[in-house]
Structure 1
Amino acid sequence: MVAGSRFHLSLAHGGPKSILDLGCGTGLICDAYAAGGHDVTGADPSARMLEIARRKPNGCSIEWVECCSQDFRSEKRFDLIIMTGHAFQVLLDENAILATLAVIREHLAEGGRIVFESRNPAIDWKARWDGGVFEVIHDGLVVRKTRDVVSYDEGRAHFETRYHFPEETLVSESELLFLSRNDIERHLEASGLRADAVYGDWDRQPFDERNAEEMIFVVPRVVNSRSKAPTVKRRRAARQ
């Protein structure tokens, strides 16, 4: 199990929880949570990803919702809401970010936690990614992943990623936004939220702007449950 997965699973210790994974992709973390006896909901805008997710060993016990993070609606309130795989970075403008944070805030149970990560913009990601070949573990299989950067300018990266499965190759064209820690915390505050920890890696080391690749935000609860989240326009965004 990779470090990120171990980190996310550790968030659910202490008994059964209601968990929402916004941008769940193929449902790896959702399936692991469900195997641990948790009540799990996975949301993603990709019908193809959700089709794969439903075939997971515990897929039939998970509620799958096809939607963007900004559009998610449920009567449920969740003890834990996560955005994994840097899904936060597909929110490409302030309206999309604030709309998603409003959805998260609305669906967070009293005493619940929000956890998401974003890549540190101080790192030269273009140099690291362009023409890169990686291996990732998917359902126990080693899958080759290749990535080519189309453009990288003013905090936005546009790139293509190919996942080379034995039966097929999935091609994903993506655009990501790289915000600083200060910018993200400003958006949280505008949404009535506040991080009580920002880690620089999956071992919970404090964030170091010069060296850390990750910015992992842990937001324990709303600051003021009576205040209203800001009104924002809702726009669609695809997850990668």
Structure 2
Amino acid sequence: MPSTLYTDPRLVALYDTLNPAAADTAFYLALAAGKDRVIDIGCGTGLLTCELAAQGAHVIGIDPAPAMLKVARKRPHADRVDWIEGDARALTVLPPADLVLMTGHVAQVFIDDSRFLETLKAARHALRTGGELAFESRNPAARAWDAWTPSRSRRKITVDGIGEVEVWLADAAESPQSVVRFTTHYKFRASGNELISQSALRFRSQDELATLLDQAGFGKLEWFGDWDKTAVRADSRELIVIAR
């Protein structure tokens, strides 16, 4: 079941404040520079998608959550994006792309390897000869979930039209299959209401990701451990890959 963070309009309204443009946005915009056709799988509220369009690319944004796309369609430059409500299966009917992206740790939403492999194969099919797939996944060795506790994650944000919201993570638990389940709590100061969203993410190692990419038909992989393109180390927080 997808996290209600992506489906509940009350939480979708908080998404951009919680996930503003950052170093990852700059990384993907630089990667897309000069590319003609770009596909953004799991585009969410379209922050990166619309920036790609503003940069001059012909962009297709794909997401299964109507509430996220509703926000995306209201952004500047949204009229220059082709929006598709759906998943990677939509790639089979699209023209070949120069670049396919999966950002915002979308890769970790695929708990099952077979579903993730299907998506990787669809991305490979959607690329022209010489095209690239790029995405990131949190490095399980860094154990990011150890910090997903109320005391270490609590923060306050202010959102126009909503006011102050206190947000924290809790109940993070790792399963033997490297799936981490956790809850995100949102307390709205104006009303005193608290919403709780349940999520699950798969943490794959670099070797596991490489194996799936190989099975999907990608022959050349370039890896980074951070957005400044430093090499992957044991303690790298990210596993960033450009696959060809």
| Amino acid in the other structure paired with 1:116 | F
Q: 1:126 offset after TM fit, Å?
A: 2.5
C-alpha contact (below 8 Å) 1:70/1:96 kept by paired residues: no
CA–CA distance in structure 1, aligned partners of residues 62 and 188 of structure 2: 23
| Amino acid in the other structure paired with 1:19 | V
C-alpha contact (below 8 Å) 2:99/2:133 kept by paired residues: yes
Alignment-derived partner of residue 181 in structure 1? 206
- Provide closer, same or farther for how the CA distance between residues 19 and 165 of structure 1 changes in structure 2, counting only shifts above 3 A: farther
User: How far does the alpha carbon of each residue in 1:14-38 deviate from its partner, in whole angstroms, 9 at most, with x for none?
Assistant: 3x52110101110000010111111
C-alpha contact (below 8 Å) 2:149/2:168 kept by paired residues: no
TM-score normalised to structure 2 length: 0.79
- 2:218 counterpart of 1:193: yes
Q: Which runs of 5+ in 2 are unaligned?
A: 1-20
Q: Quick check: which one's helix share is greater? A: 2
- 2:237 counterpart of 1:217: no
- 2:198 counterpart of 1:160: no
Other structure's SS at 2:27 match: helix
Q: 1:142 offset after TM fit, Å?
A: 10
CA–CA distance in structure 1, aligned partners of residues 189 and 47 of structure 2: 18
Other structure's SS at 1:204 match: coil
Other structure's SS at 1:73 match: helix
| Amino acid in the other structure paired with 2:86 | C
- Provide closer, same or farther for how the CA distance between residues 215 and 142 of structure 1 changes in structure 2, counting only shifts above 3 A: farther
C-alpha contact (below 8 Å) 1:23/1:43 kept by paired residues: yes
Written as runs of structure 1 = structure 2, the 5 A alignment for 1:73-152 is 73-131=92-150, 132-134=153-155, 145-152=167-174
Q: 1:194 offset after TM fit, Å?
A: 3.2
Other structure's SS at 1:206 match: coil
CA–CA distance in structure 2, aligned partners of residues 97 and 113 of structure 1: 17
C-alpha contact (below 8 Å) 2:164/2:190 kept by paired residues: no
C-alpha contact (below 8 Å) 1:185/1:195 kept by paired residues: no
Q: 1:95 offset after TM fit, Å?
A: 1.0
Alignment-derived partner of residue 53 in structure 1? 72
CA–CA distance in structure 1, aligned partners of residues 71 and 190 of structure 2: 13
Deviates more, 1:126-135 or 1:187-196: 126-135
**Count of equivalent residues:** 217
Q: CA RMSD in A?
A: 2.8
CA–CA distance in structure 1, aligned partners of residues 220 and 155 of structure 2: 32
Q: 1:133 offset after TM fit, Å?
A: 2.6
CA–CA distance in structure 2, aligned partners of residues 125 and 32 of structure 1: 28
- 2:86 counterpart of 1:67: yes
C-alpha contact (below 8 Å) 1:31/1:59 kept by paired residues: yes
